[in-house]
Amino acid sequence: MSAHAVGRGPGADGRAVIVGASVAGVRTAQALRREGWTGPVTLVGDEPHPPYDKPPLSKQLLTGAWEPGRAVLLDGPAAREAGITLRLGSPAVRLDPAGRRVSLADGQTLSYDVLVLATGAAARPSPWRPGSGLHVLRGLDDLLALRRDLELPGPVVVVGGGFIGAEVASAVRARGREVTLVDPLPVPMARLMGEEVGAHFNGLHRRHGAVTAFGTGVESITGRAGALTVRLSDGGALPAATVVVGIGSVANDAWLRDSGIPLEDGVLCDEYGRVPGHLGVYAVGDLARRRLPGPGGPQRSEHWTSAVEQAACVARTITRPSAPSAEASVPYVWSDQYDWKAQIVGAPGGARLHRLIGDPDGSPARFAALYSGDGARLTGAVLVNWPRAMLMARRLIAEEGALAHAERELTATGQVSRA
């Protein structure tokens, strides 16, 4: 099959290889079948486990409310029924675009006509290396190792106050353990939602019995599991049985560095997932650094909803190359922390908070924070325990709705708590 015959529409019978078995890879494989791709579809995963969903790692799986099987996205029988071949437990180690071949760590080589790169992102490595007892949380093996260490008696220290760190702290408290959350910023969530709303998240930790050491960094972590010491930049020291480090992520693109694929902390691609200069090669999910319409440079979107939407877009582009379509998507991410379900839509970061509707201190709390970049249009919102408000805000952002109109719609069902 020639390179120019790839993706000649529904019924295409070329060999599709998808490298990466998280939600973006799985949904791409499934979407290809829905779009009429009849050729072989192979899904490569570096872990031996069946493909699974990752958001529950820091939520239901860490609390123990779920066992791992409940997070499976695609098991063997479902894969066979869909005609998807699973190649698990052997990561891709090299790509030869000229020869259209992917080499795996076990020595096997896969040939392809269409290749989708979906290897996602990994936890940013910890700069601290004690003898044992330190964890990051990005995969199922990380989760299982952390759950084992949480059986050790003693306090837990979480380094990093972003979503992962906050969710881990919440899950640890749900297990009845002492936890201290450390971050160099006085208000960690200010990075995403500004200091005023971020301060309510600070208070959430304290109300649920977590200790916060915000505004101070970590100098060192020493010792072993069960007897660790976390030394802080303000001179303090925290004892810990277990330490969890959540300080961001890095794209899983190291295996592509000698391939000629354009990289920039991820794979550069257009809004349809197409990799420039490499016909038949696409990127999707956390790995994809997309060039989007409008101002701003290429960006990675590490959100579950975005990964699912990108998967559908790439499958349509592969099967209908003459008429690709990319739906305009409003960014969306959620976080479960204690008794709060926080949902963020649009782009509140960098915009100005204009109105807080509802009550952050209620029992239960319910509020919506509205943001605008220009004072006229609604550009972002943070919603807590208010699904209806989230749906309204997402619709209005997509429609480039007026901020005043958003305020009227939301205040019709909530109580204004600040002007």
Q: Look at residues 58, 43, 33 and name the one whose alpha carbon lies nearest to residue 285.
A: 43
Q: Given a cut of 90, is residue 291 above it in pLDDT?
A: no
| 363: CATH | 3.30.390.30
Q: How many CB atoms lie within 10 A of CB 393?
A: 30
What pLDDT is attached to residue 419?
Answer: 33
> How does residue 10 score in pLDDT terms, banded at 50, 70 and 90?
very low
> How does residue 13 score in pLDDT terms, banded at 50, 70 and 90?
confident
Shared domain check, 377 and 296 = no
324 domain residue, yes or no = no
Tens of pLDDT along 91-116?
999 999 999 999 999 999 999 999 99
Shared domain check, 134 and 113 = no
Mean pLDDT of the chain: 91
Q: Given a cut of 80, is residue 415 above it in pLDDT?
A: no
Shared domain check, 273 and 232 = no
CB 347 within 8 A of CB 329: no
325 domain residue, yes or no = no
Q: Given a cut of 50, is residue 6 above it in pLDDT?
A: no
418 domain residue, yes or no = no
Q: What are phi and psi of 310, to 5 degrees?
A: -65, -40
Plot region of 334 (φ>0 → left; ψ -120 to 50 → alpha; else → beta): beta
What is the spatial distance between Cα 102 and Cα 259, in angstroms, rounded to a whole number? 10
Shared domain check, 97 and 42 = yes
What pLDDT is attached to residue 336?
Answer: 94
Range scoring the smallest mean pLDDT among 142-151, 208-217, 265-274, 349-358: 349-358
> How does residue 3 score in pLDDT terms, banded at 50, 70 and 90?
very low
Shared domain check, 112 and 38 = yes
Q: Given a cut of 80, is residue 417 above it in pLDDT?
A: no
Domain boundary among 192, 217, 247: 247
What pLDDT is attached to residue 405?
Answer: 84
Shared domain check, 265 and 357 = no
* Residue with the larger pLDDT of the pair 328 and 281: 281
Shared domain check, 137 and 195 = yes
416 domain residue, yes or no = no
Secondary structure of the chain in the HEC alphabet? CCHHHCCCCCCCCCCEEEECCCHHHHHHHHHHHHCCCCCCEEEEECCCCCCECCHHHHCHHHHCCCCHHHHECCCHHHHHHHCEEEEECCCEEEEECCCCEEEECCCCEEECCEEEECCCEEECCCCCCCCCCEECCCCHHHHHHHHHHCCCCCCEEEECCCHHHHHHHHHHHHCCCCEEEEECCCCCCHHHHHHHHHHHHHHHHHHCCCEEEECCCEEEEEEECCEEEEEECCCCEEEECEEEECCCEEECCHHHCCCCCCECCCEEECCCCECCCCCCEEECHHHEEECCCCCCCCEECCCHHHHHHHHHHHHHHHHCCCCCCCCCCCCEEEEEECCEEEEEEECCCCCEEEEEEEECCCCCCEEEEEEECCCCECCEEEEECCHHHHHHHHHHHHCCCEHHHHHHHHHCCCCECCC
Shared domain check, 286 and 372 = no
Shared domain check, 114 and 8 = yes
407 domain residue, yes or no = yes
Range scoring the smallest mean pLDDT among 116-125, 234-243, 261-270, 391-400: 391-400
Domain boundary among 284, 319, 354: 319
61 domain residue, yes or no = yes
> Total domain count for the chain?
3
What pLDDT is attached to residue 293?
Answer: 60
Domain boundary among 185, 212, 247: 247
Q: Given a cut of 60, is residue 7 above it in pLDDT?
A: no
Q: Given a cut of 60, is residue 252 above it in pLDDT?
A: yes
Shared domain check, 181 and 75 = no
What pLDDT is attached to residue 294?
Answer: 57
**Average pLDDT of the residues in 126-135:** 97
334 domain residue, yes or no = no
Q: Given a cut of 80, is residue 389 above it in pLDDT?
A: yes
Q: Given a cut of 70, is residue 9 above it in pLDDT?
A: no
Shared domain check, 143 and 108 = no
* Residue with the larger pLDDT of the pair 413 and 19: 19
Distance of alpha carbon 230 from the chain centroid? 27
329 domain residue, yes or no = no
For the chain, give the percent of residues with pLDDT over 90.
77
The full length of the chain comes to 419
Tokens 């390179």 appear where?
A: 3
Which residues span the domain enclosing 68? 3-122+250-319
Shared domain check, 17 and 115 = yes
| 78: CATH | 3.50.50.60
